[in-house]
Amino acid sequence: MDESKLSLEARELLSMRDDVFDHWEASVRAEIKGAAELIGPALTDNLPSLYENLAEAISPGIARQTATENSTAAMAHGSERARLTCFGPHEVLREYQLFRDAIREVSRSHKVAWPDAVWAAISRSVEIASCEALEEYAATHERTRRKVAAALSHDMRAPLSVMKNGAQLVCLTDDSALARRSAEKICRHADRLESMMCDLLDALTVLREETPPLILSNFDMLDLASDVAHQFSDGDGGPFLVVGDSVEGHWCAPAMRRALENLVSNALKHGTAGEVQITTRERRGRLSLSVHNHGRPIPESKRERIFGYLNRHQGDGVLGWGIGLSFVRSVAESHGGSAEVDSSAAAGTTFTIEVPVDCRPFVKHATKCAQSAI
């Protein structure tokens, strides 16, 4: 910014910037629910950019009619509020109102006298910024709902496949015990499918969460891994080996199960004939849950983007990895961890979820968000 081209009012506005943001931050933390928990940079976000644009907007010699003209700063602010905070649309609107009020209150304390035209320009810029932020806030949540709906729809294929295989087995077998076990499996996966449908409906209506709220419980991850391997083995999915430690911790069982199912499904789809290995390890208070398969490695050029939403990897004539791996990463991150991949021609491909053994301290904020949305 060339301050020599700014008007007197604009230079005065910039001179009291720190006081304005101190006043605004105090007001927002005191009035808006959830703001008190945000650290300073997260709360302030990119409003300083809008503030500098305001200085240009009240300078007649600069071709910027409003603070939002030629800028996506307000849209970026709305997107971050949707993705990173518990703020609702009313809170987003209110923080812009408090922003305008902070400028007015601090200008009075500095005893600056601006003409009505300057105040009109400031008010108009803040109003437009709030509208653009709210539009992007709503658009971000809509994209989020679509992503979750697509991911859950994708996950429904696994229980549907098991149910179909079980029904075919019942039709073909004369063994009543085998038919009974297959029927029990069908019922169990029908219950899981019903649960996923409930999650899907939540995803279409809930405004604040990119993934459904985590329901934490204490269980042994080795037991869950063994159950998933048994589930796919019964569906003629191939040979499985489950190894590692018995790791008991606090996680969301439905979310971790679906993430593991996605990894196993990918291993079967993209791996060559051979064993699929699921491994559970505990290292320094963290769970390492990995799925390994042999086969053609993931190209280095695709490795970095493999967890991206709708990133689809073409390999061995099979198109996939468009939604499932994005969900895997989302589950890992929502538990306070991460997801990674190691792939080479010599060693095969291993996808790993690394999360704290006790993830409760790491999802505390997300839980509060979910509760505040009720």
The C-alpha atoms of residue 296 and residue 299 are separated, in whole angstroms, by: 9
User: Which of 87, 86, 111, 91 has its CA nearest to residue 16?
Assistant: 111
DSSP state of 362: G
Can you tell me the distance from the alpha carbon of 38 to that of 230, in angstroms, rounded to the nearest whole number?
Answer: 44
Distances from the Cα of 63 to the Cαs of 56, 60, 72, in angstroms? 8, 8, 17
Number of H helices, E strands in the chain: 14, 9
Nearest to 38 by CA among 76, 103, 90, 91: 91
Residue 24 pLDDT: 96
Which phi-psi region, left, alpha or beta, contains residue 188 (left: φ > 0; alpha: ψ -120 to 50)?
A: alpha
Residue 119 to residue 155: CA distance in whole angstroms: 54
Query: Looking at residue 195, what is its pLDDT?
Result: 65
Given this model, what pLDDT does residue 314 score? Answer: 44
pLDDT reported for residue 324: 66
* Token reading at 136: 């992007």
Residue type at 69 in one-letter notation? E
Tokens of 311: 């990133």
Q: Is 281 helix (H, G, I), strand (E, B) or coil?
A: strand
Please tell me the distance from the alpha carbon of residue 103 to that of residue 25, in angstroms, as a whole number: 12
Order of strands, sheet of 240-244, starting from the edge strand that comes earlier in the sequence: 240-244, 276-283, 286-293, 348-356, 338-344
Terminal alpha carbon distance of the chain = 45
Q: What are phi and psi of 118, to 5 degrees?
A: -70, -45
Each residue's pLDDT tens digit in the chain (374 positions)?
A: 567 789 999 999 999 999 999 999 999 999 998 898 888 888 888 899 899 999 999 998 787 889 898 888 899 899 888 887 888 899 999 999 999 999 999 999 999 989 999 999 999 999 999 999 999 999 988 887 777 667 666 777 778 888 888 888 888 888 888 888 888 888 888 877 776 675 565 455 443 444 456 889 999 999 999 999 988 876 555 688 999 999 999 999 988 998 898 898 888 877 776 789 999 999 888 999 999 998 888 877 666 667 764 444 444 433 343 456 777 888 888 888 888 888 888 888 899 999 999 998 887 544 444 443 32
**How far is residue 198 from each of residues 153, 223, 328, measured CA to CA in Å?**
11, 25, 19
HEC-encoded secondary structure of 217-261:
EEEEHHHHHHHHHHHHHHCCCCCEEEEECCCEEEEEHHHHHHHHH
C-alpha distances out from residue 205 to 175, 200, 208, 310, Å? 45, 9, 9, 22
Q: Report the pLDDT value the prediction gives residue 172, as an integer from 0 to 100.
A: 86
pLDDT at 64: 83
Confidence (pLDDT) at 198: 59
Residue in 54, 153, 154 with CA at minimum distance from that of residue 100: 54
User: CB count, 10 Å around CB of 21?
Assistant: 19
Q: Specify the pLDDT at position 346.
A: 82
Residue ranges of E strands in the chain:
216-220, 240-244, 248-252, 276-283, 286-293, 313-315, 318-320, 338-344, 348-356
Strand, coil or helix: 34: coil
Give the predicted TM-score (pTM) of the model.
Answer: 0.51
51 Cβ contact list (under 8 Å, min separation 6): 13, 17, 20, 21
